[in-house]
Amino acid sequence: MNRKIAALGAFAGLMASTAAWANDKVVLGTNWLAQGGHGGFYQALIDGTYEKYGLEVEIHPGGPQVNTRPMLAAGRLDFLVTGNLLLSFDNVRNGIPTTVVAAFYQKDPQAIMAHKDQYADFAAMAEAPTVLMGRDGQFSFWQWMVEAKGFTDEQLRPYNYSLAQFLGDKAVVQQAYGTAEPVYARAEGAEVDVFLLADEGWSTYGATIETRQQVIDDDPELVQRFVDASIEGWYNFLYGDRSATYAAIIEANPEMTVEKLEAEMAQFEELDIIDSGEALENGIGALSEDRIREFYELAVASKILEEGSVDLEKVADTRFVNKGHGLDIKDALSGE
């Protein structure tokens, strides 16, 4: 962990009210380099919320050279920010005893990006001559786009995570992370339309939190404290002062700037990714067993998974969320 962030977190903890529990060391892994999309976790660290809940939290960023996913099962992490439910289904299918305990994005930020006004809507892009798609996308949501939305493999071309081909041809559409590529394209002077897959029926949660089943069995109270503190961190980040958290994120990932973080968070708000859907009533982090089953059935129908390959009883434990925790913070900060 970055020493400056650790020091800031410790200082904030000293300023917090006396913890009701002895401090427990917890390591949280993220799925990429520090960014605005992890802001609530950094907020809870920097402002002393984790300390208030008796937690000494270290954030271990992922990145292009760091695969945090196997670190959870190996016991090197206690909690992990994952991408979407397909990863959790895969763990269950392979007998890896990890469990989802919260979902901090009500929508998966995966999107399709097109040049402004080039296509009337999502359906019209099924006639685009070229769709750029990364390897992971080809074996997940692209299969759903083909099976359910009229796209064809003849359109498919590999996306190498460079915007050059997209910027050079207005007929090209491409895979995009809704809070990333659109920001980068606009920085290059391109006006774009962003079609969030979630708004077209891709119903997975995003930024789910997984832990080992053993952690849940041995210390469910620890899991509850971590989830509650993280929820509070997200409300404070979304509706309160982000400046110290931005500084911590930039310290952890010097490629970020305040301007980039502001642009990223503007996309989260515009696309209604975090505080939306079930979170409006049940609180950030909300999970629904019915929705998990619905997405599993979508994955089966799209030939991403085989019928019966996942024991849905092992995917998630919803008892730590859906309690409206943190809604009072939102009300106080937003004036609602």
- Per-residue pLDDT reduced to its tens digit, 238-288: 999 999 999 999 999 999 999 999 999 999 999 999 999 999 999 999 999
pLDDT at 13: 45
pLDDT at 226: 98
Backbone angles phi, psi at 44, to 5 degrees: -65, -30
Q: How far apart are CA 44 and CA 51, in angstroms?
A: 8
Three-class SS state of 192 = strand
pLDDT at 336: 63
Q: How far apart are CA 49 and CA 59, in angstroms?
A: 14
Give how far Cα 109 sits from Cα of 51, 84, 224, Å. 30, 10, 26
Q: How far apart are CA 184 and CA 200, in angstroms?
A: 23
- Whether residue 66 is predicted with pLDDT greater than 80 in this model: the reply is yes
Radius of gyration of the chain (CA): 20
DSSP 123-179: GGGGG-S-EEE-HHHHTTHHHHHHHHH---GGGEEE--S-SHHHHH-TT-EEEEETT
> Beta strand pairing status for 156-158 and 131-133?
parallel
Least confident of 18-22, 30-34, 49-53, 195-199: 18-22
Q: Give the dihedral of Cα atoms 7, 73, 37, 202; nearest 10 deg.
A: -170
- HSE at residue 241, side-chain half, CA atoms within 13 A, is 5
pLDDT at 10: 43
pLDDT at 268: 97
Residues of CATH 3.40.190.10 domain(s) within the chain? 3-107+204-334, 110-200
The single-letter DSSP state of residue 284 is T
pLDDT at 335: 79
The mean pLDDT value for 52-73 works out to 94
CATH code for the structural domain at 3-107+204-334? 3.40.190.10
- Cβ-count burial of 147 within 10 angstroms (0-12 exposed, 13-18 middle, 19+ buried)? middle
pLDDT tens profile 116-169: 999 999 999 999 999 999 999 999 999 999 999 999 999 999 999 999 999 999
pLDDT tens profile 105-131: 999 999 999 999 999 999 999 999 999
- Whether residue 79 is predicted with pLDDT greater than 90 in this model: the reply is yes
pLDDT at 121: 97
> By the 8 A CB rule, do 258 and 252 touch?
no
Confidence band, pLDDT 50/70/90 cuts, at residue 64: confident
Nearest partner of 14 among 39, 42, 47, 60, judged by Cα: 47
Class in CATH terms, 110-200: alpha beta
pLDDT at 224: 98
Those residues whose C-beta lies under 8 Å from the C-beta of residue 215, and which sit 6 or more positions away, are 78, 222, 223
